[in-house]
Amino acid sequence: MGFARACSVALVGVDGVVVEVQADLEPGVAAFALVGLPDKTLVESRDRVRAAVVNSGAAWPQKKLTVGLSPASVPKSGAGFDLAVAAAVLGAAEVIDPGVIADLVLIGELGLDGRVRPVRGILPAVLAAAEAGYRQVVVPQQCAAEAMLVPDVSVLGVRSLRQLIAVLTDGEVPEEEPPDPPGRPDPMLAGLVLPGAGLGTGVARAGRDGRDFPELADVAGQHAARRALEVAAAGGHHLFLSGPPGAGKTMLAERIPWILPPLTRQDSLEVTAIHSVAGILPPGEPLVTRPPYCAPHHSATMQSLVGGGAGVPRPGAVSLAHRGILFLDEAAEFGSKALDALRQPLEAGHVVIARAAGVVRLPAGFLMVLAANPCPCGRHTLHGAGCECPASVIRRYQARLSGPLLDRVDLRVEVEPVTRSDLLGRGGRGETTAVVAARVREARDRAAARLADTPWRLNSEVPGHELRTRWQPAAGALAQAERDLERGLLTARGLDRVLRVAWTVADLRGRDRPDPLDVAVALELRTGVARGAAAAMTGAGS
């Protein structure tokens, strides 16, 4: 009787669970049983592993073989267990020393010819192995760079099962296979990136040189909207852009990621792990360093926005936009259930999805940007444009964005039509992306220094109680906001959000704490009612 064990990782959402793969050989009729709550793809690994072992030059044991995946209560899915199953079987057959693979984590899919194919979710899997105390992992060669992002872990990238056997038995490593002809797509990467995944989710990326980004100076006019963009980026505040078609709402939203600071190392690992599981991590770019930008179509379902799907829930748009921008263009055209499902992640920074296969907690800390027309035809706010929408139709159209959802939006800006002088550049170009990004970074650094010993990093994350007691504004600064609260123009949540925006405005102005003018700017940005406070933001995004 032979017994051996190796380790692999099962992913549940973006969290990993180390799974012990046990192989047991007993005398009897040759058979292969796989137990431990495997899915259909994993059950099929019996045929893949058998063919890969034989085609790699090793003998398949002609005994009763049982492979168990422990813990048995955790659902296992995908083909990433193939390499661990093959190693455990070869260890039980004494082709490989069982002691060598006992504490080895192996992740990868096997082809019938023995080649090791890449799989999605390598980074979160290796992170889970490192947290469990494992220090040696074996992954497909194409995924080695992604696995090496995890510190203090020794990574071995292998091309084939034959190579792995040679390394573990101190044998002669086979010669590397000749590369494919230039220009031919690598068939080994077919399972690493889902076809059309990035386009289907609306996720946009920068070019490899990092220079082909939208320039903020190309936006004609829209001084008030540009100021709101800067405040949103500096404090992480949600933004609602309302205006007629062609006014530049989408242009403005597309430029927000480029005025945001680059991701920190920890944030980069979080975002990369989510994108790796979702199958939208580009080959050759193992680490996402810029804030993601996700713009799903207005026909998106609730499951595609918050996550879900058959079996174990998968990340949705709110998770793909983690630490970046979620842009909902034509927001009034989204389904009401889909929009209202955003309330919980907007408040909590994560989304909890309960399905029959289990409960998954996915990160969802994003900056939401809504864009909508004022009416179905879009000409309601244009003077002399001939809007023929009845008042009842306009009310119903605008009511598609529910009050509880809009109450979570800090900044609301009316995007005016572009004038001829602005379009022809007679008023001069606005500030460039680099200038605004530098000012946003300074404001964020000022907020980070103030919140250094707290669990919060941005003004939008600080609870209102803390802002009212621990970091108080200047005397009398909240007088106008308190009057609006008493008159029913602000909710208690709205007052807290006004105070958060006021702190961001103060950070952009270089002030130690908000004064009445900063609060007036915050009220104007939230309510859209002019309060003569635009001068406070002079030079910021003008």
Report pLDDT digits (tens) over 322-338: 999 999 999 999 999 99
State the pLDDT confidence band at 487, using cuts at 50, 70 and 90. confident
Which pLDDT does position 208 carry in this prediction? 44
Q: If you average pLDDT over each of 60-74, 168-182, 218-232, 379-393, which comes out highest?
A: 60-74
Integer CA distances (angstroms), 365 to 166, 316, 389, 469, in order: 45, 12, 37, 25
Which pLDDT does position 236 carry in this prediction? 94
pLDDT at residue 534 above 80?
no
Stretch 444-456: mean pLDDT: 92
Task: Give the torsion sign (CA, 47, 52, 55, 61).
Answer: negative
Residue with tokens 């941005």: 458
The answer to whether the beta carbons of residues 312 and 357 sit under 8 Å apart is yes
Amino acid at 315: P
pLDDT in tens, 386-399: 788 898 998 999 89
State the pLDDT confidence band at 385, using cuts at 50, 70 and 90. low
pLDDT in tens, 198-235: 444 556 655 444 556 788 888 887 888 999 999 999 99
Q: What are phi and psi of 308, to 5 degrees?
A: 150, -145
Integer CA distances (angstroms), 213 to 4, 217, 220, 521, in order: 53, 12, 17, 30
Look up residue 179 and give its DSSP letter: P
Question: Is the pTM here over 0.75, yes or no?
Answer: yes
Angle of the 516-527 helix axis to the 479-486 helix axis, nearest 10: 40
- The H or E element that residue 62 is part of is none
Look up residue 76 and give its DSSP letter: B
Stretch 228-251: mean pLDDT: 92
State the pLDDT confidence band at 87, using cuts at 50, 70 and 90. very high
Tell me the C-alpha distance between 338 and 89, whole Å: 47
Residue with tokens 């919060």: 456
pLDDT at residue 480 above 70?
yes
State the pLDDT confidence band at 416, using cuts at 50, 70 and 90. confident
SS3 170: coil
Percent of the chain with pLDDT over 70: 88
Q: If you average pLDDT over each of 18-22, 174-178, 179-183, which comes out highest?
A: 18-22
- Planar angle of CA 520, 441, 145, nearest 5 degrees: 140
Q: For 223-237, 321-335, 373-387, 439-453, which range has the lowest pLDDT when averaged over its residues? A: 373-387
SS3 172: coil
Which pLDDT does position 199 carry in this prediction? 43
CB atoms within 10 A of CB 279: 19
Which pLDDT does position 522 carry in this prediction? 92
The answer to whether the beta carbons of residues 459 and 500 sit under 8 Å apart is yes
* Token code pair at residue 427: 């008023």
CA-wise closest residue to 326 among 399, 405, 208: 405
pLDDT at residue 473 above 80?
yes
Which pLDDT does position 474 carry in this prediction? 87
Tell me the C-alpha distance between 501 and 481, whole Å: 12
Q: If you average pLDDT over each of 135-149, 389-403, 460-474, which comes out highest?
A: 135-149
How many secondary structure helices (H) and strands (E) does the chain include?
23, 17
Tell me the C-alpha distance between 475 and 516, whole Å: 8
CB atoms within 10 A of CB 101: 24
Which pLDDT does position 193 carry in this prediction? 59
Which pLDDT does position 333 carry in this prediction? 93
Which pLDDT does position 425 carry in this prediction? 67
- How much is the mean pLDDT over the chain? 87
pLDDT at residue 427 above 80?
no
Distance of CA 432 to the CA centre of its chain: 27
Verify cis geometry, omega within 30 degrees of 0, for the bond prior to 71: yes
